[in-house]
Amino acid sequence: MTWFLDNFAYVWELTVKHLVLSVIPLVVGFVVALPIGWFASRHRRLRGSVLSVGSLIYTIPSLPLFLVLPSIMGTKILDPLNVIVALSLYAAAVMVRSASDAFDSVPAEVLDASKATGFSEARSFFRVQLPLAGPVLLAGLRVVSVSTVSLVSIGALVGVSSLGSLFTDGSRRDFGTEIIIGIIGVVLIALVLDTLLVLAARLLMPWRSVVRSSGRSV
Amino acid sequence: MSVASETVDWLTDSANWSGDEGIPHRLLEHVYYTGLAVGIAALVAVPLGLWIGHTGRFRNVAILVTGSMRALPTLGVLSLVAIYSGIGLTAPLVALIVLAIPPLLAGAYSGIESVDPRTVDAARAMGMTEWQVLLRVEVPLALPLLVGGVRSAVLQVVATATVAAYISLGGLGRYLIDGLAIRDYPQMLGGSVLVIGLALVLDGVFASIQHLALGERSRVEAARRT
């Protein structure tokens, strides 16, 4: 406890870094996956291949991906961009499936009705399909959010600092308190992001209760 | 010379293909740790999951525990276990087992839950005992989801075992961690390629088993229909 109080500024700085490294991939993954998932749900024949590319990406373990990306993108090993790109890929890979399922869950009669009422394709997407797909999209986002927050800490192994740095540092110094503080911090960030997602969903979709699900952590 | 061709050289260098630090030995170690961890975890998680699925008891507890365990950062768990139980195989293995339990448990209970309750009722009405209902009706029908749980547990453990090289576990992760430490990029990249390859191959193997299990399910359903 004294260690935590003495190093509060340091832990806070790492917490902020951790949060930034988690939120960017979440947003990027969501924005990338949304159109791909929509496309996959509209074109049944391509759906299978789009989803298998997603699950293939998701199969790649995180540490090797962090190490391979620099030679593909021409970045330095220590560049936080590697972690951000890797986690965005994972987030998009999972969200594509969620988004495709989400748009599938929009009843065909509703689509027909919106067309018959004279909604343009774009207006139907934003005003009809997206809101109705919302609950399933949210369930996907919550899964991705938890796993992304946990994965950010692996970046500490390749020198990208986050709360994971408390793990590598604590293990080097044989100091359990530091590691425990790090674990608590990571779980708290996951909890806070999850709560924010649920609250945002309540604001944006007051008509629906919230769905739950689960995902990956390495 | 580019890093890519140096990596290919590293992968094809015969010196890297023999001895205790050679690729075959490291690969075997990696598969061995994975098999051991998933095996031991399955001994605990699968019977427990089947029981939860069959009786419906403690279902909420199971969901809560598997859900919150997924939020635990694996690197933190590994580091913590390592400093309290010292260097050796036990510490990382315990961490790998703990991390393999949630997907196995979830696969087992959700598999049993996916079975149509009318099928279970019919089995009981035919005079099957609870054990017969479980082993001859529910488990065969739950097989695809059960194998799905094993599949994600295996992938999880392959990935985590790589990370565990940093707390002195052997396996392919050694190349990544050691290569990174001494800035030996070909070794690091070669190791990464091997881990990714292993993960993709194992995923393919379990995808096929899952497919076979699905075939089993449709055979059972066909037998039920006729």
Sequence ranges of the domains in chain B: 3-225
Q: What is the structure's pLDDT at A215?
A: 47
Instruction: Tell me if B83 and A170 make a contact (CB, 8 A cut-off).
Output: yes
Q: What is the structure's pLDDT at A214?
A: 46
Residue entry with tokens 């990464």: B192
Chain B: residue whose CA lies nearest to A169: B79
SS (H, E, C) chain A: CHHHHHCHHHHHHHHHHHHHHHHHHHHHHHHHHHHHHHHHHHCHHHHHHHHHHHHHHHHCCHHHHHHHHHHHHCCCCCCHHHHHHHHHHHHHHHHHHHHHHHHHCCCHHHHHHHHHCCCCHHHHHHHHHHHHHHHHHHHHHHHHHHHHHHHHHHHHHHCCCCCHHHHHHHHHCCCHHHHHHHHHHHHHHHHHHHHHHHHHHHHHCCCCCCCCCCCCCC
Q: What gap in Å lies between CA A148 and CA A145, rounded to an integer?
A: 5
For residue B188, the chain A residues in CB contact (below 8 A) are: 67
- Looking at residues B48-73, what average pLDDT do you find? 85
Confidence of residue B217 (pLDDT cuts 50, 70, 90): low
Q: What is the CATH number of domain B3-225?
A: 1.10.3720.10
pLDDT above 90 as % of chain B = 24
CA distance A190 to chain B (A): 7
Instruction: Tell me if A63 and B73 make a contact (CB, 8 A cut-off).
Output: no
Q: Is A189 on the interface with B (CB under 8 A)?
A: no
Q: How many CB pairs under 8 A join A and B?
A: 140
How confident is the model over A118-158, as pLDDT tens digits?
888 888 888 888 888 888 888 889 889 998 999 999 999 88
Quick check: ipTM above 0.85? no
Q: What gap in Å lies between CA B94 and CA B81, rounded to an integer?
A: 8
How confident is the model over A84-113, as pLDDT tens digits?
999 999 999 999 988 988 888 888 888 888
Mutation to test the A interface, candidates B60, B64, B75, B85, most A Cβ within 10 Å: B75
A74 φ/ψ sector (left φ>0, alpha ψ -120 to 50, else beta): left
Q: What is the structure's pLDDT at B222?
A: 58
* CA proximity to A133, closest of A167, A158, A97, A161: A97
* CA proximity to B62, closest of B72, B53, B71: B53
Structure tokens at B111: 């598999």
pLDDT, mean over chain B: 85
pTM of full prediction above 0.80: yes
pLDDT, mean over chain A: 86
Rounded to whole angstroms, the maximal C-alpha distance in chain A is 68
